[in-house]
A and B are shown apart, each in its own frame.
Chain A
Amino acid sequence: MNNSNFIIELSHISKSFGEKVVLDDVSLYVKKGEFVTILGPSGCGKTTLLRILAGFGTADEGEIKIGGADITNVPPHERPVNTVFQRYALFPHLNVYDNIAFGLKLKKVKEDEIETRVRKALKMVGMTDYEWRDVNSLSGGQQQRVAIARAIINRPQVLLLDEPLAALDLKMRKDMQMELKEMHKTLGITFVYVTHDQEEALTLSDTIVVMSEGKVQQIGTPIDIYNEPKNSFVADFIGESNILNGTMVKDKLVRFMGQEFECVDKGMGENAPVDVVIRPEDVYIMAKTDSGMFEGVVQSCIFKGVHYEMLVTTPNGYEIMIQDYNAFEVGQQVSMIIKPSDIHVMQKERICNTFEGSMIDSTHVEIMGKEFVCNEQVGIEGGEKVEVEVAFDKVELMDNKEDGTMVGDVRFILYKGDHYHLTIRTENGSNLYVDTHDVWDDRDIVGIKIQPEDIKIKRV
């Protein structure tokens, strides 16, 4: 990457706290004046990334440039960035004026200039005449405005915002979103905004960076991210969606829910396993007719303000979420149509669990740091490195963690219409993917067991 049109260049940033990898080779390039949102669930590493950008944390590996200058080892007070903190972090012993003037006073700016700039900043955030108020007597929204004024008065090249609206109530949040967007336009400063609220990200950003488990999942415009999610995580995290297992029969023809559908995707090869994403508002629902593409029975119907949200089961046992302006009665027979362009097909990242392991003896293999019993292997010696495959649906999960060969916790749950696809983080930090019909909750601790005959071993 050349340094001409990027104001922020984060290259190959990695960071661990002890054993835990928080950021895993993250790269991000931001154009001048862009409004970039880093979006992800809590614990995905987004705040850590922002703190590294601000200088409050250091990366174990990687390089950070702002405006072309390498600032990897520059302390926070010398960086051309300012931060708006999640819990505002206003100085409680200073009044509104002194809080906002803090940065300028440090730079020894002349008193009368400070005064004009503070007034301007206050006007900008709509807090004129609040100069002499005690910050502790302000409401959450007002404190946030002061925090923003305190940051932008220093005319930073980049403004970092760490979930700035998370502590506000819904109405206030909506108002502030609009104001932030307006402010971004007027100031022309690059905004880097961290949030876990996908709606906020879609509303505000020029570019969204979706993160999960310390990795960047997708970078794109809000429209791209919504319409063309790169993988099932992004599809599930952004908006509501039906995610189903499917097979790409050939170009422009995909098979899921036991039947074939026309689609617009191609180039995945024949009979390739894929994930199919259908947004609930993209399914057309009507009373049972012969012209429908598939049929079902309404299981539930809930009024959501603008639309109704319905769950429909198909005769072969799939559950589909549908949003429509018309309500259908529970138990009613209905028909559905999906346009080819609304069927989003994604290459599967994996079709089964694969591990590097090593044989202990002919009937025992070590994978994920644990010893598992396997069927007798002829011709593979103890100590030999092997490749091990375990199908998603061949992993047993148990409530009682003592019953399993090993223990893990549920990190991510994806509903696939007729079963759940879970990501389990095991004791040694590797991921295990499981298909199950049982209901588990996020962060459940489970015992893990695999039958010997389900452990498929291959020589490397």
Chain B
Amino acid sequence: MKKFFAQAYLWLLLAMLYAPILIIAIFSFTEAKVLGNWTGFSTKLYTSLFSGGVHHSLLSAIENTFIIAIVSAAIATVLGSIAAIGIFNLRNRQKMIMNTLNNIPMLNPDIITGISLFLLFVSLGITQGYATVILAHVTFCTPYVVLCVMPRLQQMNPNIYEAALDLGATPGQALRKVLMPEIKPGMISGFILAFTLSIDDFAVTIFTIGTEGLETLSTYIYADARKGGLTPELRPLSTIIFVTVLLLLITINVRAQRAQKAKEKELK
């Protein structure tokens, strides 16, 4: 009985969380301009989303979003991993200072990060565009990469690096052959985290994207929604995004669970 109520509560909450998304998904399969009118099943919105033409700006916004996310996640991963190794080897005061500095961008609300970077770019007279958005995204993504890599370094048996040196590896070789493989999982999850943070971001982007007509998906949706109407093609787009993320997360989790179970079995 207790279990029944508990389950019911969870499903009710899930219904609330997913109702809006479901509505969008359902109405992505009809042609009506206004959401809520069902004018029969159709996949026209999907085809017109990818056919370009009128909605060319939406497609280029998607493209921009991905380019920005990949570039800034890559930069953040390199910068953050090198920084994590550095911070890990610092002592006491210096380490504390670096950790505090690293925490600031994560504690700052997006709007503050956005405005502060906006002020930086305008006071330096830098024209805002691709470069400034990427720099801004690197700024708020790198701390998360540091946070992903750091535990790998901390969990690492410190003797492993020394063992490599002991067996004749130069410090450079020890780094490449032993340290890198050890922190690689942290780097990968750091990259994925940075990538999704970048794709999701709206508040920082809007302040650093400039007025040259560059759009990401977020700013496109925002501008579009502000004009009053919602471009109907956003419905199939949202649905696609949602389904992709759903599949991705479920695969990752299922695989992680399977790997864990396999490991437990092996240990037995």
Q: A residues near B, CB below 8 A?
A: 54-56, 75-78, 81-83, 85-87, 89-93, 102-103, 106-107, 137, 150-151, 154
Residues of A within 8 A of B174 (CB): 77
Residues of B within 8 A of A106 (CB): 167-169, 173
> Is B59's CB within 8 Å of the partner chain A?
no
Residue from A89, A93, A106, A151 having most chain B Cβ neighbours under 10 A: A89
Instruction: Please pick, from A78, A89, A93, A154, the residue contacting B162 in the complex, using a CB distance under 8 A.
Output: A89
Interface of B, helix, strand, loop or mixed by DSSP: helix
B261 to chain A, nearest CB (A): 15
Across the interface, do A76 and B170 meet the contact criterion of CB distance under 8 Å? no
> Is B153's CB within 8 Å of the partner chain A?
no
> Is B193's CB within 8 Å of the partner chain A?
no
> Is B157's CB within 8 Å of the partner chain A?
yes
Write out, one digit per residue, whether chain B residues 178-216 have a CB within 8 A of any chain A CB (1) or not (0).
100110000000000000000000000000000000000
Are A107 and B168 CB-contacts (below 8 A) given A87-B157, A89-B160, A93-B181?
yes
Are A54 and B178 CB-contacts (below 8 A) given A85-B159, A106-B173, A137-B266?
no
Residues of B within 8 A of A54 (CB): 162, 166
B195 to chain A, nearest CB (A): 24
Residue of A nearest to B170 (CB): A77
B92 to chain A, nearest CB (A): 11
- 30 chain-A/chain-B pairs, Cβ below 8 angstroms: A56-B165, A56-B166, A76-B162, A77-B167, A77-B168, A77-B170, A77-B171, A77-B174, A82-B167, A83-B163, A83-B166, A85-B162, A85-B163, A86-B159, A87-B157, A89-B157, A89-B160, A91-B181, A92-B160, A102-B164, A102-B167, A102-B169, A102-B177, A103-B168, A106-B167, A106-B168, A107-B168, A137-B266, A151-B167, A154-B168
Are A77 and B157 CB-contacts (below 8 A) given A92-B182, A93-B182, A137-B266?
no
Q: B residues near A, CB below 8 A?
A: 157, 159-160, 162-171, 173-174, 177-178, 181-182, 266-267
Instruction: Please pick, from A76, A91, A137, the residue contacting B166 in the complex, using a CB distance under 8 A.
Output: A76
Residue from B162, B163, B164 having most chain A Cβ neighbours under 10 A: B163
Instruction: Please pick, from A55, A75, A78, A91, the residue contacting B160 in the complex, using a CB distance under 8 A.
Output: A91
Residue of B nearest to A93 (CB): B181
Residues of B within 8 A of A78 (CB): 168
